Homo-oligomer: A and B are copies of this chain.
Amino acid sequence: MNKDRAEKILSRPANADAVLISDPAAIYYLTGRWIHPGERFLGLLLSRTEEPKLFLNILFPFEETAGLKIISYSDTDDITELLAKHIKRDWVLGVDKNLTASFLLPMQKAGIARDFVNGSLAVDKTRAVKDEEEKQLMRKASAINDEAMGIFRTLVKEGISEKEVAEQMLGIYRSLGADDFSFGSIVAFGKNAADPHHMPDDTKLKEGDVVLFDVGCVYKGYCSDMTRTFFFRKGPNEAQKKIYDLVRRANEDAEAMIKAGVRLCDIDRCARDIITEGGYGEYFTHRLGHFIGIEVHEYGNVSAAFSDLTEAGNVFSIEPGIYDPETMGCRIEDLVIVTDEGCEVLNHYPHDIEIIG
């Protein structure tokens, strides 16, 4: 049980006396154990007055952990009755945003707490500020991703399909020490690069194609995520060069303005203005970035709709793109850690135009 993280959650100004966390990723964050309960109840109860308690079906093995009391139950137990023994009736209980009605409605009918509120924000905002141990793991996950990109670029050859390239990636990640993909790799050739969510298919590579890799791995529980856009055997034409340079500048200028205390929407604005002034605003169809850590998409994003201020320790992606089906699709993405003075860019694979194959 990570006491320091639990205390940070409880110290956030919340409108609740206790939080009942049921998100497996948040429970991993606090306990170091992944539990996938399926349809069964899983809850970690944090309160200011009592020790942390984990409500866990006996079907799931869990080693005793210092500072955490395990409350075991079986399939024949009534979850509401069990929780009522540990939750005070005069508490306002912060429940997980993803707690399902099948559990919440009976808790409400039985009145096991005075009121029920969404308690996820305290957890999510704590997770959004990475501690030293987490930063170290995210640096390593991105270092592996940089190294993997250097290998992925060598996999291309005339006539190979996107799927054939994608199928080689997991083995390469594992050989570099990663545990798994952090998400399904995007490998996009030619016009497919103009679809930001393209999934690898049987499209075959040909000279003059753009090659876009949006890839990431998991290292000891933490995710990486990077995009680079290459040219296969033929450099960009003028129109393509203009797009590439705009995206690169949007990425680098946005990264240059990041430091603690900046509004996230202003970072998005910086990149979007560059692309819009270059004439391609309508082709930049998504937010600039998302927070990342144990999950590839965590609470928080870099978008016009998100005006929170950055905090030192935030980790998010900066991934401007232009998706012009006539000319090219292009995206350049790095992860950054916010610091008091600026930011640490976790990806070191260059942004330069690169002809491969």
By a beta-carbon cutoff of 8 Å, the part of chain A in contact with chain B is 75-76, 95-102, 104-105, 108, 116-118, 120, 305
Contact = CB atoms under 8 A, between A and B. Distances in A.
Given A75-B305, A305-B76, A118 B97 contact: no
Contacts of A120: 102
A262 B100 CA distance: 32
B102 A100 contact: no
Given A76-B305, A305-B75, A118 B98 contact: no
A99 B108 CA distance: 15
A197 to B, nearest CB: 11
A75 B305 CA distance: 9
Contact of A97 (B97, B98, B102): B102
Nearest to A99: B101
15 contacts: A75-B305, A76-B305, A96-B101, A97-B100, A97-B102, A98-B102, A99-B101, A101-B116, A101-B118, A102-B118, A102-B120, A104-B104, A104-B105, A105-B116, A105-B118
Contacts of A100: 97-101
Nearest to A94: B101
A101 B102 contact: no
A342 to B, nearest CB: 30
A304 to B, nearest CB: 10
Contacts of A117: 105
A120 B95 CA distance: 21
A43 to B, nearest CB: 12
Nearest to A119: B101
A97 B116 CA distance: 17
Contacts of A96: 101
A25 B76 CA distance: 27
Contacts of A116: 101, 105
A84 B117 CA distance: 20
Nearest to A75: B305
A223 to B, nearest CB: 17
A95 B102 CA distance: 9
B95 A101 contact: yes
A100 B104 CA distance: 9
A108 B102 CA distance: 15
A116 B116 CA distance: 14
A293 to B, nearest CB: 16
A96 B102 CA distance: 8
A118 to B, nearest CB: 6
Contacts of A98: 100-102
